[in-house]
Homo-oligomer: A and B are copies of this chain.
Amino acid sequence: MSTAWTRKDLLTIRELNRIDIELILDTGRIFKNLLADSGKKSTSLEGHTVVNLFVEPSTRTRTSFELAAKRLGADVVSIDSNSSSFRKGETLKDTGQVLEAMNADFIILRHSAAGAPQFLAERLDTHLVNAGDGAHEHPTQALLDAFTMHERLGEKRSWKDLHVVICGDILFSRVARSNVWALTKLGARVTLVGPTTLVPEIFSELGVKITHDLDSVLPDADVIMLLRIQHERQRRSFFPSVGEYVSLFGLNMTRFKKCKPDVLIMHPGPVNRGIEIASELADGPNSTILDQVKNGLAIRMAVLHLLGGNNAK
């Protein structure tokens, strides 16, 4: 399908160049067509073994990778964080080596520690895919987001004419970090918005704008990407109350009216309805939430195929 891909692993967007990213997006388009053809499967990973190692739980991302791998014909085994016996008394390196010895061709790793996938990738021949590491990166999420933007707006605007506003808990968000890398490499303009405690000035060094006033950037935004407020992890000390957060940074109908009519409203899910976004907007025609999920399957198929599929190179 291509002669350009040479990497063993997908660890970060930061390490990719624009050509890598566009190759993944183009390959994703091929697999999206395949998925639309009901009942069609690829044989790209036939005879290959994919292990989902989710040390930090995520049924949604795990299911997406599992379905992507199965649709490519792979054998899939999922190991979740409840499966403590795999890790009892074992280092991450030992666990990785055991999985490699069990003939795993791919390890999809979700881990609470930033850098865990990189650490393992350097020590194994197995293909490593980062499915989210701490607050560091979540590369397939950024790829599926870019895919969705291009699919919905690509005919009208080139990347350099695109202005993407990312709003919310930037500080702790691996989704935001990966998106910043992907979008700036592709040439889009990015503005980060949120409370001062969650959007530190230092992010401007990444080539993006920073603001703490959502309303001021709405009229010029082509895409508004809302991040999930993580009640469970979130320390209340970062903003006074959920109510105040909603009043300043929640996307509601009043704010929507200030936006371009064809603005894309994106969210990595799961959505807290009425907090980051009003229910009617989440379900409205500008929302891409379900497109993102759908495209995630195609992008993950593309990544697995490029990294180690039969006839990938």
Q: Which residues of A are at the interface with B, using a C-beta cutoff of 8 A?
A: 35, 38-41, 46-49, 51, 57-60, 63-64, 66-67, 70-71, 75, 77, 79, 82-86, 88-91, 94, 97-103, 105, 228, 231-232, 269-273, 290-291, 293-294, 296-297, 310
Contacts and interface: CB of A to CB of B under 8 A. Distances in A.
A85 B103 contact: no
6 contacts: A41-B46, A59-B83, A59-B85, A94-B269, A102-B293, A102-B294
Closest CB pairs A-B (n = 9) = A39-B47, A101-B293, A59-B83, A59-B86, A70-B75, A101-B294, A90-B270, A101-B290, A59-B85
A29 to B, nearest CB: 16
Contacts of A102: 63-64, 67, 293-294, 296-297
Contacts of A271: 89-90, 94
Contacts of A60: 85-86, 98
Most chain B CB within a 10 A radius of its CB, from A41, A77, A273: A77
Contacts of A82: 82
A64 to B, nearest CB: 6
A47 B100 CA distance: 27
A27 to B, nearest CB: 17
Nearest to A232: B88
Nearest to A271: B94
A101 to B, nearest CB: 4
A189 to B, nearest CB: 28
Contacts of A291: 101
A75 B84 CA distance: 25
A59 B89 CA distance: 13
A94 B84 CA distance: 28
A269 B75 contact: no
A270 B88 contact: yes
A47 B43 CA distance: 11
A239 B90 CA distance: 23
Given A63-B79, A102-B63, A47 B40 contact: yes
A51 B70 CA distance: 13
Given A66-B77, A67-B75, A57 B39 contact: no
Contact of A57 (B85, B103, B272): B85
A67 B103 contact: yes
A94 B294 contact: no
A92 to B, nearest CB: 12
